[in-house]
Amino acid sequence: MRVAVVGATGLVGGEMLRTLEELNFPVTELIPVASARSVGNKVSFAGKEWSVVGMEEGIAAKPEIALFSAGGSTSKEWAPKFVAAGAIVIDNSSAWRMEANIPLVVPEVNLDSIHGGRLIANPNCSTIQMVTALAPIYRKYRIKRLVISTYQSVTGTGKAAVDQLFAEREGREYTPVYPTRIDLNCIPQCDVFTDNDYTKEEMKLVHETRKILGDPSIRITATAVRVPVIGGHSEAVNVETELPFDIADIKQAFSDAPGVILLDDIANLSYPTPRIAHGKHEVFVGRVRRDESNDNTFNCWIVADNLRKGAATNAVQIALGLIGR
């Protein structure tokens, strides 16, 4: 199978290459695609070196699947051209997520929402990990309301943000990405602010969760915070359900959920952290406990590698799911 990775030299593109290998995707020919300044560079995949090509050459190579992680404007321009050339495009940007006719997919949750279309949207990283964990809870108990606080790795912003963190730590000069220092700090802003004083990241959690679960009635509010962490995003989520539950059954639902690992042993101080999630494909859940201030409500802590399950892994799993069908 000919597979193009568009944005192959970026953080997520590199994780896509590693994930394709680790999940044994049947790649017969890799087509690494990037911007003009990267054309001719080499990327490593499956024990070989592959030359990076530009967009037009990538289209001419006739990939059967194209994994896009090159930004929204690039996707808007080029994804339809790859589709016209016969590729199935799985796009990691925000360009297509809220388009009514474009499926927004987390394979463990709604793979069946793909009905023959050749352009598929990968959700936002924070949404992916939360919905992967909470979908079984939604199905069994129905979710009325979510109150979400995220603690997001600098890798979610990109290479320049990682450089800012370590440059601050090492006392080097750097080109700032964030409006203030990130090392030894927390910044209560992920992405830009919108007209309602929430950030785009916060509103993505609202709109994307409703679309994936197919339920616009869920009440959702979020605060997204950037933290000086490498390895994954963490989320403290307060979940109010319509139906009563036993907290042991909630833990069992997490334990049984596909793609989820329950790590919830407070007697031994065992719970998920970004260091545990780093490089892993799964979503980790812990600190599951009843909210004693409100009926039918519990708290949980959800952690995943935002470059893996939050981006590359989810995209590759979508492609694997399509092959399986």
* Catalytic positions, written as ranges: 125, 233
Which tokens is 3 given?
A: 């597979």
What letter would DSSP give residue 262? Answer: E
Q: Strand order of the sheet with strand 143-152?
A: 219-226, 143-152, 233-241, 297-304, 283-290, 260-262
CB 169 within 8 A of CB 178: no
Q: Catalogue the long-range contacts made by 34-37 (C-beta closer than 8 Å, 24 or more residues apart).
A: 34/6, 34/7, 34/8, 34/9, 34/10, 34/70, 35/70
Q: What is the 3-state secondary structure (H, E, C) of 33-88?
A: ECCHHHCCCEEEECCEEEECECHHHHHHCCCCEEEECCCHHHHHHHHHHHHHCCCE
What are the two backbone dihedrals, phi and then psi, of residue 109, each rounded to the nearest 5 degrees? Answer: -110, -50
Q: How many Å apart are CA 308 and CA 60, to the nearest integer?
A: 29
Which tokens is 242 given?
A: 């319509």
